[in-house]
Amino acid sequence: MHALTCPICNALSGFLNQQCPNCGTTVGIHLPSRSLVVASEEGVDIGGERWVRCSNWEHPGCNWMTLAEVDDDSAGLRGRCFPDSLVRKRPDNEDTIGLEKLPSTLPDLRMLIYQLVDLGLPVEPFWRSEGGLAFDLLSSMSTGKPVMIGHANGVITIDLAETMDAYRERLRVQLGEPYRTMLGHFRHEVGHYYEHILVETGSGADEYLDKCRKIFGDERASYSDALDRHYKSGPPADWHASYISEYATMHPWEDFAECFAHYLHITGTIDTARESGVMLESDQVRFAMDRDIVPLESYADQPIERLLYDWKWLSTMFNRVNTSMGRRPLYPFEIAQPVVRKLGFVHRVIRETAKRRAGEGDPLVDAVSPSAS
């Protein structure tokens, strides 16, 4: 993720802070510029428009800005920042247990939306278009009813119970997963959304769909049969040779979503490393390395192999650091050659979509404000 710096003293402020830790200036995230701005109570003028603090500024502690003027508030979005406006359902006001978990979930949602916009992907909200992106953030712990994490017709459902470390870790061990986080859930489920709108039904479907089926398999295969088979028999014994995870073996849809999530994991972490000045110098490390690893500002025009080569060495370093602290590896996955091809397809779809949208002059403000209609 980008290193967000204070507009006054240029100190690193962080993704969640409402105040600069160095000079104390109140700051807020301005999504169109992907930067921090001074967030006074009166708001700030940017590009001829007034931006004010999100209505969730005080609780649950949002540090994002939103346009002050809302021409049409029929969806009840007045005052919400763009990521928060995508929350279609949340626990009822009487559900204090569920609401208690909401503040620790929303930052992951905001981080997801920030990355999607930064990559140039379309984020069409449900309140503007049927089938647009929406999030139902519900809790199985408070209602006693199961909450199935998943995606359907643009709606992503997340179980807030997964914010509880013990609950999430129990499921991770039970399911044999090396990695399970709330941000990971968001990234996986949004992969389903983008496969649908970019590969299966979008303007690029004629170009992408057949290629996708050749690489991931035919998504028209019965999902319910695949689900039953996966939980009855488990993954193939040699799944490591062709898939990024056990869950990816279940169905072509899950294979794509897992690869999409990993693409976001990799690009987000590399971007963070680059903006932190991290690089690996081959003549300084105590092991053989072909060349220096200097993360690029953008891999948009690079083949997937360049991105993954840099990631191979950076993730090795991050894994060693975690091990030194007695933690599990940061990135506990092996990327086999067939997975390189799959990630290459995801890379192509994302980067070509971003270039096409940029060429069409798609105004970012229309994509990030409830007032743009």
Q: Tell me: the pLDDT tens digits for 187-240?
A: 999 999 999 999 999 888 899 999 999 999 999 999 999 999 999 999 999 999
pLDDT at residue 76, as a whole number:
54
Which tens digits make up the pLDDT trace of 152-161? 999 999 999 9
Distances (CA, A) of 114 to 7, 51, 258, 353, 358: 19, 17, 20, 17, 17
Nearest to 39 by CA among 21, 57, 26: 26
Peptide bond into 60 cis (omega under 30): yes
**DSSP characters for 283-321?**
TTSSS--SS-B---S--TTS-HHHHHHHHHHHHHHHHHH
Distances (CA, A) of 319 to 327, 329, 332, 333: 9, 4, 8, 10
pTM: 0.94
Residue 350, phi then psi, degrees to nearest 5 = -65, -50
The Cα–Cα gap between 251 and 235 comes to 11
pLDDT at residue 20, as a whole number:
97
pLDDT at residue 2, as a whole number:
81
Low-confidence ranges of the chain (pLDDT < 70): 70-77, 362-373
Q: How many residues does the chain have?
A: 373
Q: Which residues contact 113 (CB under 8 A, 6 or more apart)?
A: 31, 82, 83, 86, 123
